[in-house]
Copies of this chain bind each other. A is one copy, B any other.
Amino acid sequence: MSDFDNLLDKKAQEAEEIIKSFLPAVEGYQKKVIEAMNYSVMAGGKRIRPVLMMEMFRIFGGTSEDTVKPFMAAIEMIHTYSLVHDDLPAMDNDEYRRGRKTTHVVYGPGMATLAGDGLLNYAFETAIRSFLSKESLTEFDGVIKDRKAMALKILAEKAGIYGMVGGQCADIEAEGKQSSTEDELIFIHENKTAAMLESSMMIGALLAGADSADIQNIEQAARKIGVAFQIQDDVLDVIGDEAQLGKPIGSDEKNEKTTYVTLHGIEDSKNEVQKLSNEAISILAEFDGAQDFLIPLVKWMISRNK
């Protein structure tokens, strides 16, 4: 493994421990839904969103990690609920994810629906609890309170109809419709994929004390990363190696789906990925410490061949 791979593994493990520490205890008459929630969250993965959040927090000089940890858990819970609902028979009907049975296969579609609902709700509970104690109406912890409230707002807005849910809707609407426009396609990529990267990176920086201008730049960079990531996905669906990808190629053509590649061809698509990637990196390179891990991570995310 390269140094970067080692570092990514280490950071993903750290994030996983943090996420785990915020999961609810499996007990009570509602223990089945909690079990299904925890099964879904502990399905592995690189924990890209919380890792990005923590890295932005570090770059902007955040010291008290207890501030950012509940939000790392919350963003992963939201990401996970979206996968659980996406996998449902009523949606993509996927039986496996990362080689593991999906939640609805193990717990049934009703309980999986409820587990997704429970995760989305628990994400907000976790983030809200981080700035309010159970006993007091007024126990905020000083100046940071406003930043936590703002982080909560970003968390909510990027996950909803003007973010991820909006992108999922447009994606469903676009299936089997060969006439999607580029505008529509970019909307899907920006919302379905980029929005949650935006909130991850923005919240990390915000909680560490970044100013508004920096946060806006981070939002732009994250959007470019998300869109580049998705165009790369479209490219790999045409020219990828099935063995490396672990899934069949050509699915977009089979599903009669408009993609960046069907609109612009392979070469232009590759160039667009490179262009967006360079633009994102040049924004992030302004921040001290970005070269240590953040920029290698962005390169790894976009230039993957699987």
Contacts and interface: CB of A to CB of B under 8 A. Distances in A.
A54 interface: no
A71 to B, nearest CB: 14
A161 B120 contact: no
Contacts of A160: 118, 121-122, 125
A105 to B, nearest CB: 13
A245 interface: no
A184 B184 CA distance: 49
Interface size class of A (residues with CB under 8 A): 35 or more
Interface stretch (A27-35, A234-242, A268-276, A296-304): A27-35
B161 A34 contact: yes
Interface stretch (A56-64, A143-151, A258-266): A143-151
Contacts of A243: none
B125 A166 contact: no
Interface in A155-195: 156-157, 159-162, 165-170, 172-173, 184, 187-188, 191
Contact of A169 (B81, B85, B104, B114): B114
Given A24-B161, A140-B146, A165-B114, A30 B191 contact: yes
Contact of A88 (B37, B113, B172, B191): B113
Contacts of A116: 117
A128 interface: yes
Contacts of A37: 161
A167 B30 contact: yes
A28 to B, nearest CB: 7
A212 interface: yes
Contacts of A152: 128
Nearest to A148: B149
Contact of A90 (B24, B113, B118, B149): B113
Nearest to A121: B160
- Identical copies of this chain, number: 2
A91 interface: yes
Contact of A146 (B81, B138, B153): B138
Contacts of A88: 90, 110, 113
A137 interface: yes
B32 A169 contact: yes
A131 interface: yes
A89 interface: yes
The 7 closest A-B pairs by CB, nearest first: A30-B166, A90-B109, A33-B169, A121-B160, A29-B170, A30-B169, A125-B156
13 contacts: A29-B173, A33-B165, A33-B166, A90-B104, A90-B112, A114-B169, A120-B121, A121-B159, A121-B161, A122-B161, A125-B153, A125-B156, A140-B146
Given A29-B173, A124-B124, A125-B160, 13 more contacts: A29-B169, A30-B162, A33-B166, A82-B117, A85-B113, A91-B113, A91-B114, A113-B113, A114-B168, A118-B165, A118-B169, A121-B160, A125-B153
